[in-house]
Every structure is written in C-alpha cells, then in structure tokens.
Amino acid sequence: MKFINHSKIYNSVMALLAVISVVLMTLDYADKIDIDTGYWALIDNVILVIFTIDYFTRLLLSKSKKQFFKNNLFDLLSIIPVNGIFAFCRINRIGRLFRLLKFTRLLRMTRLIGLLGRLEKFLKMNGLVYYCYLAIAVLVVTSSLYSIAEKVNFSTALWWSITTATTVGYGDISPHTALGKFAAIVDMLIGIGLIGMLTSNLTNFFSQQDDSDMKQEIRQLHQENHELLAELNQIEQRLNKTQVKTK
C-alpha cells in the first residue's frame, strides 16, 4: 500500500513538472519570457535533468529494453536537450543560421509533444482529449512554420492555422510559399482528423449507453428469473409436505 502511495506521489510530481515545462514553453512561444536565459533556463534545465534521470533509470530497470523504448517514445522526446544543441551549434558558428530558421523552437515543440505524452499517461485521457492536445501542439508548430515562411507575426499565423484546421478558411490570409502550403495541408489533415475523432467518440458514447441500458435490462430479467425459480421451489416444497401429510 505504501509503495502504491509513493508511486502516485512520484507520478504526480513528474506530471506537475511536465505542466510547468509546458507552461514555460508556451510563454516562450508567446514571447512573454526567454526560456534560454536567466532563471527560466535554470528551471527548464533542472526539469530536463530530472526527466532524463527518470527515463534512463526506468530503462535500466526494465526487463525488455526494446519494449520500453517503444512504450516510452514520448518520454524520450521530452528529454531532447534543446539548449545544449543550440549551444553546440553556436560553438560551431552555425547557431546564427539555426536562430534565423528558429530551429530550436521546432526542436522544443517536439519536446513539448513528448511532455504532453507524459501527461497523457498520468491523466489517462481518452483518445479524443489526447488528440485535442496533440492537435493544439501541431497547430503551434504549423503556426511557427507559417510565421517563418510568410514572414508574419505568430498571432496572425496562429489565427490562420485555426481557421484552416476548422475548415472555415476566411481567405483573408493565404500561403504563398511551399513551406506555408505544407503547413496548410497539415492543418487540414488535423482538422479532418479532429472532426472524425469527435464523430467517432459521440457514436461510441451513445452506443455504449445503449449497451449499458440493455445489460441493465438483462440483469433485471435474470433477477426476476431467480425470484420466480425461488418461488416455484417454495411451492414445490409445500406441495411435497402436503402430500406427505395426506399419506
């Protein structure tokens, strides 16, 4: 029992750290903070170290390393050392190119998807809720791509991604570059997938509701049958006693 409680506490702490990291990345994307400098970088790096220790400890303790790798892909994505990669690139004098391309932001988004995967394990979300989180992450990625390709601010790019994914498409903004058109295709696929998932989940919900009602009726019928059998047994016993007395 104590082990279970400790496990719950540990998983809760890891989930809380994942939430903090997601919030930091979101604020960084919104240009509210700079996650690469100051206390923000320290907090992000500490969380990264904790996740790295957690991942490799569980890897060493696992019986099947191959199976562990398959089942914990999101955990691996969540420990991508974005700041370290950027520092290495800067040392090799290509950091400026990566900064121009916002390569580190794309890497960080990959890590963000990994963090959301960690949260999915903890929260045990259903497929629709998890897909919604994944869709939000992809929308942020496509917005970043569109912002880079079309040279517009991030808020405008995010508005375009949402209208494209929801198939509204006002037409006030449209991509002109190959990268921008690629982002549009991804948004369209995400939007179609989200609508499909929503329809499927609603169908499953009502069908499961019908199944549960039917099972309830079957249980009631079984109960009534048992009661009838019990009454018949009592009547049979009374008849047997009456026949014995008559003899």
**Residue 102 vs residue 220, higher pLDDT:** 220
| Cα separations in angstroms, 161 against 82, 108, 109, 116, 172 | 25, 19, 16, 20, 12
**Residue 29 vs residue 193, higher pLDDT:** 193
Kindly report the average pLDDT of the chain as a whole number. Answer: 72
For the ranges 87-96, 126-135, 183-192, the one whose mean pLDDT is highest: 183-192
Per-residue pLDDT reduced to its tens digit, 211-245: 666 677 777 777 878 788 888 888 777 777 776 66
Residue 61 zone, left/alpha/beta (φ > 0; ψ -120 to 50; rest): alpha
Query: What is the rounded CA–CA span in Å between residue 224 and residue 162?
Result: 55
Burial class (CB in 10 A: 0-12, 13-18, 19+), 136: middle
Query: Domains in the chain and their CATH numbers?
Result: 1-124 (1.20.120.350), 125-218 (1.10.287.70)
**Does residue 159 surpass a pLDDT of 70?**
yes
Instruction: Identify the pLDDT of residue 247.
Output: 57
Query: What is the rounded CA–CA span in Å between residue 168 and residue 96?
Result: 37
**Does residue 97 surpass a pLDDT of 60?**
no
Percentage of the chain surpassing pLDDT 70?
62
Query: What is the rounded CA–CA span in Å between residue 163 and residue 143?
Result: 11
Query: What is the rounded CA–CA span in Å between residue 76 and residue 170?
Result: 39
**Does residue 10 surpass a pLDDT of 70?**
yes
Percentage of the chain surpassing pLDDT 90?
0
Q: Which of these ranges, 30-39, 82-91, 152-161, 204-213, has the smallest mean pLDDT?
A: 82-91
